[in-house]
Structure 1
Amino acid sequence: MENEIKKRALEEEQPQEQPAEEKETVSPKKPSKILSASEYSFFLDRENLHKLFPMIFFLAGLGLFYIYNAHYAQRIVRKTDDIKDEIKELRAEYITIKSDLMYQSKQSQVSKRLEGGELKELRTPPYKITFTEKDER
């Protein structure tokens, strides 16, 4: 009995080891799609030059877009600064005009302006004028 149990244990252990070995041998290295640096030649010859054109054009376009974007951002910043300066000037002008208007609308200033004309400042308090039908005739 003991021998049979040992045989079964050995048989169970052996098949487990074999698939592990097979898995290691079954998985060979897959060739990578990205070429290593050693596979590129640094000499541009006619055969390989046409393969590099799409990448060169893409990088050139990307560089042009980067430069355009930087110039566009600087232009927007300059316009924003100009508009801020203009707003400050207009606000200062608004405050100046408003203060002048408030000064000129004072009663003393209005009376000074009206002195030379036919209009005069009212010295008595205002009163209500009533109209009746008898006055009409």
Structure 2
Amino acid sequence: MKGLFNYQWIVKNIPFFLFLSALTILYIANGHKADKTIRRINSTTNELKELQYEYKTLKSEMMFRSEERQVVTATQPLGLQVSKETPVRLKAEKQ
């Protein structure tokens, strides 16, 4: 035996080396795909958090503007006022 890696041994094991090369390429591709998926999940999570903050801000603003005092203040320039009279109940006639 002249050496551990002689020409005949290398030629004999070419299919095995090709198999190892294919596995290596698949392993690297899988790692890239996983990184891409994790980045997409993180960006979606951040977008969701931003939308939740925006929802909470708009909800609190809407609740503040729907208070009676704010509605009265907003409608005064239009000439609308709070009615001092009690509402009248209408009765439907039976036919």
Structure 1, unpaired ranges of 5+:
1-38, 133-137
Higher alpha-carbon deviation: 68-77 or 88-97: 68-77
Superposition pairs of residues 111-126 of structure 1, within 5 angstroms: 111-126=72-87
* 1:43 Cα deviation from its structure 2 partner: 2.7
Within 1, Cα distance between the matches of 2:92 and 2:6?
110
Instruction: Return the letter of the residue paired with 2:40.
Output: K
Counterpart check, 1:42 vs 2:4: yes
Within 2, Cα distance between the matches of 1:72 and 1:123?
69
Aligned residue number for residue 68 of structure 2: 107
Q: TM-score, normalised by structure 1?
A: 0.59
Aligned residue number for residue 51 of structure 1: 12
Structure 2, unpaired ranges of 5+:
none
* 1:62 Cα deviation from its structure 2 partner: 0.4
* 1:48 Cα deviation from its structure 2 partner: 3.8
Q: Deviations over 1:107-134 (max 9, x none)?
A: 11111111011322112211135699xx
Count of residue pairs brought into register by the alignment: 92
Q: Deviations over 1:64-85 (max 9, x none)?
A: 1111111111111111111111
Aligned-pair identity in percent equals: 29
Instruction: Return the letter of the residue paired with 1:99.
Output: S
Within 2, Cα distance between the matches of 1:75 and 1:84?
14
Counterpart check, 1:61 vs 2:51: no
Q: TM-score, normalised by structure 2?
A: 0.83
Larger Rg over CA atoms: 1
Q: Deviations over 1:2-44 (max 9, x none)?
A: xxxxxxxxxxxxxxxxxxxxxxxxxxxxxxxxxxxxx8x5233
Within 2, Cα distance between the matches of 1:89 and 1:52?
56
